[in-house]
Structure 1
Amino acid sequence: MTPRATPRPQLPDVRPLDRFGSIKIKLGVLVAATVVLAVFITWIGLRNELGPSRTLPLAIILSLLLTQVLARGMTSPLRDMTTAAQAMADGDYSRRVRATSHDEVGQLAVAFNVMAEDLASSDKTRRELIANVSHELRTPVAALQAQLENLVDGVVPADKGTLEGALKQTERLTRLVTYLLDLSRIEAGAAALNVTTIPVGDFLEDAAESLSMMEAAKDLHYVVDVAPPDLVLEADKERLRQVVTNLLHNAIRHSPPGGVIRLDGYSGTDADGLDVVVLEVVDEGPGIAPGDRERIFERFARGQHAPPRGRTTSGGTGIGLAIVRWAVDLHDGTVAVADSEHGAAIRVTLPAQGPEPRSAGPAAAPSRPDGGSPPTD
């Protein structure tokens, strides 16, 4: 059996020099302290007639010991960072460095801890991404596989209803893949816009019509209200279609059977007097809790509302609203959850003349064309 190595004795980790704000001052104090100690010991030795052969070695040993003690406290954060970095290389992002000084080493330790927090958050996001994507893809794949196996085995006939169910799962898979491609564009910083003039009324009518067959069993009704009727917007049509389509998917998913989904568009001005166009998608679902109103725009986040008794809500991917915020940000606009008496209302505010450099002041909620004020976020 190999004998266990005896641990080396550790000097105390004292940090009396933390009160100084510069490492150069600390080094100066360290040199001065060791010199003063050596001179003092030499003086004591000469007064007690110990002679140089005894006094000099004693002065050197005690000065080196003092140097080791003080230097250990100065460099302790560097050793902690080395140990933490080695742990991070092995996937452990929980290590933190004790930063007690205000000098360059202390500032480095603080920056290291911030970096460790960011790495831990990124690693958590990556793990959640893999888990959520795996879960979201597994559900339609499993359903589609079961339907196809039943068709092959002759358990169910290849009638219109069965094929429509398989088609629905395929469409869901396509939508998930599209979401993931959009996320990859977000990560890559793809922000190219093809800005054109868009008639808001026709655009919203087309968006509602293209999704009117989704969840047909719910018998949902769509109401498009645009004021003025000839309202136009300078924006990228495909990116804006992403915004409205994802908002409609969210509204359809949470709407009760026979519910009404409103698509409102109106003009207004912001705090700087610039013209803006506001788009609102309002449903009659269970609504969004105040604590979730900002979180739902994060990737893979879902609202924690409870569905009404006797009705279940289908889980979303948690990606759509994150893509909405990304596309709106590309247009220098804003998106937020607005107050609504019934259901959920999500408001998108875009500059009417297309993307412009963001102004420093906060944007005020534009007024409705009828003179009333929209609900505040």
Structure 2
Amino acid sequence: MNKKSRSSSWFYIYPINKKIFLLSKIIIGACILAYIIASAFSGWISEFIFVFLLIILILAWDMVLARMVSSPIHEISKAAQRMADLDFSQPCKLNTKDELQTLGDNLNTTATNLQYALAQRKELTDTLSHELKTPIGVIRAYAEGLKDAVPDKQIVYSQVIVEETEKMAGMINALLDLSSLEVGTTMMKIEKFDFVELVETVAGREYVDSPSGPFHLSYSLPDEPVFVEADQTRLQQVLHNFMGNAKKFVSKNGNIHIKVSILEGLMQFSIYNDGPYLTDDVWIKFHRDKSEINRNGSGLGLAISAQILSMHKAEYGMLNKENGAEFYFKLPITQ
């Protein structure tokens, strides 16, 4: 806290302080008025009236404080206890228009976020259990088969076990990566680099060094460098996911087209492939289409890509075309 904010906090009067300050001045004025009224009488009657009025003022003070402070605090305490017991059925309802109402609203927000986090954890646990059930079952079946298998079969069974183990390891690593991105524990290393050069490098690895399946690759890239400021390693991960998906889902003898264009100070990357119609569910964790071609995927690549692009505040999306689908994202150009 700097000196200015520290000094201003000394002079700031919070709403609840204003209420108590005003109420205390009213009580003092009422005490003075009670004394004046009692002075109009003489003897024990004067003392009796003064004490009677004081008792009424004290009871009134207690009632007002209970309504202004004690009741809201009690309501907040009950709401906090319900939240501790994971009971989110009743929100904290206050209408005091002061710090206590703000505290209650913050408690409600915390309860909502906690409820969402618990739902996400349950969904993740259920999905992960389902996803790991198949490879674990395969590993168990082939491990049991190793007992009585002939040497040639033992080699085959061992290879299947290794492949299923690698599949599980890849899924878990991808899930941990996505989790670290979502909670913000992964720090981005922002640097300036030529995006066109990065696209050429990743495309070379995906389509030249490790080609798979018959398809026609074309591209449209600027002749000049296009510089952006971003996390180069993470964008390389996004490009690998986009290009890998295009290669996986392109129809036989279909087209894959990579394009980098400049639109009003923004760099737009897009990749199109002939293939099936897609829905917006492709960005959801563990999403897979119903085709056999995607049975070995983790279903996390596009979810990770979406999280990375969101951290860069980049516009991104998917568009269905006449014969296929196009994925794209945009980033500001750096001179």
Residue type at the aligned position of 2:301:
G
C-alpha distance in 2 between matches for 1:200 and 1:127:
38
Residues 222-275 of structure 1: CA distance to partner in whole angstroms, max 9, x if unpaired? 43321148575657664334213323555567x4874746242232233xx35x
Tell me the equivalent position of 1:13. none
C-alpha distance in 1 between matches for 2:322 and 2:37:
87
Do the aligned partners of residues 250 and 312 (structure 1) sit closer, same or farther apart at CA in structure 2, a change above 3 Å counting? closer
Tell me the equivalent position of 1:320. 301
Residues 46-73 of structure 1: CA distance to partner in whole angstroms, max 9, x if unpaired? 78x9824543443233223222322222
Residues 284-321 of structure 1: CA distance to partner in whole angstroms, max 9, x if unpaired? 223115xx5xxx545x3748x8x59xx89749655322
Q: Do residues 103 (structure 1) and 98 (structure 2) align?
A: yes
Q: Do residues 188 (structure 1) and 185 (structure 2) align?
A: yes
C-alpha distance in 1 between matches for 2:37 and 2:210:
94
Tell me the equivalent position of 1:130. 125
Verify the 8 A CA contact 2:38 2:46 in the aligned structure 1.
no
Do the aligned partners of residues 161 and 225 (structure 1) sit closer, same or farther apart at CA in structure 2, a change above 3 Å counting? farther
Residues 98-157 of structure 1: CA distance to partner in whole angstroms, max 9, x if unpaired? 121322322332233223322332333333333333433333222222222223343996
Residue type at the aligned position of 1:178:
N
C-alpha distance in 1 between matches for 2:89 and 2:138:
39
Tell me the equivalent position of 1:227. 220
Say what the alpha-carbon RMSD is for the aligned residues. 4.2
Q: Do residues 22 (structure 1) and 15 (structure 2) align?
A: yes
C-alpha distance in 2 between matches for 1:132 and 1:287:
21
C-alpha distance in 2 between matches for 1:166 and 1:267:
45
Verify the 8 A CA contact 2:250 2:256 in the aligned structure 1.
no
Tell me the equivalent position of 1:172. 167
C-alpha distance in 2 between matches for 1:100 and 1:297:
40
Do the aligned partners of residues 238 and 31 (structure 1) sit closer, same or farther apart at CA in structure 2, a change above 3 Å counting? closer
Do the aligned partners of residues 351 and 203 (structure 1) sit closer, same or farther apart at CA in structure 2, a change above 3 Å counting? farther
Residues 152-185 of structure 1: CA distance to partner in whole angstroms, max 9, x if unpaired? 3439962787566445423422321331342354
Query: Cα distance, 1:324 vs. partner?
Result: 0.7
Give the 3-state SS of the residue equivalent to 1:188 in structure 2. Answer: coil
C-alpha distance in 1 between matches for 2:49 and 2:136:
84
The within-5 A match list for 1:1-377 is 22-32=15-25, 34=27, 39=33, 43=37, 51-52=45-46, 54-75=48-69, 76-154=71-149, 158=153, 165-186=160-181, 187-192=184-189, 197=194, 198=197, 200-201=199-200, 203-208=202-207, 212-213=211-212, 220-228=213-221, 238-248=233-243, 250-251=245-246, 255=249, 258=252, 260=254, 262-270=256-264, 273-274=265-266, 276-289=267-280, 292=281, 296-297=282-283, 300=285, 302=287, 314=295, 317-329=298-310, 333-351=314-332
Residue type at the aligned position of 1:206:
R
C-alpha distance in 2 between matches for 1:167 and 1:191:
33
Do the aligned partners of residues 63 and 348 (structure 1) sit closer, same or farther apart at CA in structure 2, a change above 3 Å counting? same
Tell me the equivalent position of 2:6. none
Query: Cα distance, 1:211 vs. partner?
Result: 6.5
Q: Percent identity, aligned pairs only?
A: 23
C-alpha distance in 2 between matches for 1:41 and 1:337:
79
Tell me the equivalent position of 2:8. none
Residue type at the aligned position of 2:149:
G
Count of residue pairs brought into register by the alignment: 314
| TM-score scaled by length of structure 1 | 0.65
Q: Compare the two structures and name the one with the higher helix fraction.
A: 2
Tell me the equivalent position of 1:18. none
Residues 68-107 of structure 1: CA distance to partner in whole angstroms, max 9, x if unpaired? 3222221233222223333333444555221213223223
Give the 3-state SS of the residue equivalent to 2:131 in structure 1. Answer: helix
C-alpha distance in 1 between matches for 2:151 and 2:286:
37
Gaps of 5+ in 1: 1-20, 214-219, 357-377
